[in-house]
Amino acid sequence: MTATQLETALKDVWINIQGWVGSRVPHVLKLIREIQLEDNVVGDIVEIGVHHGKLFFLMASTARPNEKCIAIDLFDDQEKNLDHSGKGSLSMFNQHLDSYFSHLKRQVTAISADSMSFTPATIRQRLKSSGVRLFSVDGGHTVKHVINDMALAQEMIVPGGVILLDDFLGPHWPSVSEGFFEYMRVANRRLAPFLIFQNKLFLTTYSEHPQLLAKFRKLIDRDLMHEVHTNKWRYAQIGEHTVLCFA
Ligand SMILES: C[S@@+](CC[C@H](N)C(=O)[O-])C[C@H]1O[C@@H](n2cnc3c(N)ncnc32)[C@H](O)[C@@H]1O
């Protein structure tokens, strides 16, 4: 796929796929891809909580040819969608895959499953993946789902990989923020947050955090000079971790 064809496909995603993604998240994904390419961070792309695939296809569009893209959702088993966060549909997902991303079919796998049925001990085998470089956590929004799904992501992420947690500090789903802080207290052993941007919290691995944060800051200085020195951006602390925040 040429760069122009990719831009067209991304526009199609934006206009035609229903979902919940901040308007500037695609730009942040491009910056993360740039840093991971430079640092030779290799791994698969995974999302828990796909709905119709809006964020999933944006992430998958950054995949390199040998990287798998794995979409996990209850899809048509909505009885287990306990808090009614979105409503996955495998047929909508497959339609979008056919219409806009047929070139990715070889790389994409959709898994219909309750993420609560996975454990840190079984996830690797269930996904048939040796490691993940981009992992979106956007499934069930209860405290228990967030703790479970963050623990799964922690197990799979490669050094320098990035996890996106949706609805962090958003007013609609306070349970996500509660779940995140509880996860940090009881289960975190290797993740560190580095960015809060458009309703999402971005985390990386502990040892790579300082370098990733510094590189990300340099890229926003390069791309967003006009706003970076306004009060829209500031550094904050989450526990011991320094985080760039945009509001
Ligand atoms: C907010 S939507 C996801 C939005 C999507 N990431 C986007 O970009 O538009 C949440 C999704 O999580 C799924 N879900 C809810 N509970 C789940 C669970 N226990 N396991 C897997 N998926 C779940 C729902 O079916 C729904 O599709």
User: What pLDDT digit, counting tens, does each position of 10-69 carry?
Assistant: 888 889 999 999 999 999 999 999 999 999 999 999 999 999 999 999 999 999 999 999
Over residues 100-112, the mean pLDDT reads: 95
Beta strands in 4-144 (DSSP E): 44-48, 69-73, 108-112, 132-137
**Which of 73, 112, 163 should be mutated for ligand 1, with most atoms under 8 A from CB?**
73
CA of 102 to the centre of ligand 1 (A): 23
What residues contact 222, with CB distance under 8 A and at least 6 apart?
none
pLDDT at 133: 98
CATH for 3-246 is 3.40.50.150
pLDDT at 190: 97
What residues contact 41, with CB distance under 8 A and at least 6 apart?
35, 133, 158, 159, 160, 161
What residues contact 215, with CB distance under 8 A and at least 6 apart?
35, 38, 39
Over residues 93-109, the mean pLDDT reads: 95
CA of 187 to the centre of ligand 1 (A): 22
pLDDT at 78 over 80: yes
Q: Please, what is the average pLDDT of the chain?
A: 94
Give the span between the Cα atoms of 244 and 223, in whole angstroms: 15
pLDDT at 128: 95
pLDDT at 10: 80
pLDDT at 1 over 70: no
| Residue-range domain boundaries for the chain | 3-246
Strands 157-166 and 200-205 come out as: antiparallel
Beta carbons of 230 and 46 less than 8 angstroms apart: no
pLDDT at 112 over 70: yes
Which residue has the least CA distance to atom 16 on ligand 1?
140
Over residues 174-190, the mean pLDDT reads: 98
pLDDT at 230: 85
Helix H or strand E encompassing 192: strand 191-197
CA of 140 to the centre of ligand 1 (A): 6
Over residues 105-111, the mean pLDDT reads: 97
C-alpha torsion angle, residues 240, 196, 115, 54 (rounded to 10):
-160
**Which of 85, 93, 152 should be mutated for ligand 1, with most atoms under 8 A from CB?**
85
CA of 145 to the centre of ligand 1 (A): 11
- For 132-176, write each residue's pLDDT tens digit: 999 999 999 999 999 999 999 999 999 999 999 999 999 999 999
Atom of ligand 1 at shortest distance to CA of 56?
8
Give the span between the Cα atoms of 112 and 25, in whole angstroms: 26
Residues with CB under 6 A from ligand 1: 19-21, 48-51, 54-55, 72-74, 80-81, 85-88, 114-116, 138-140, 145
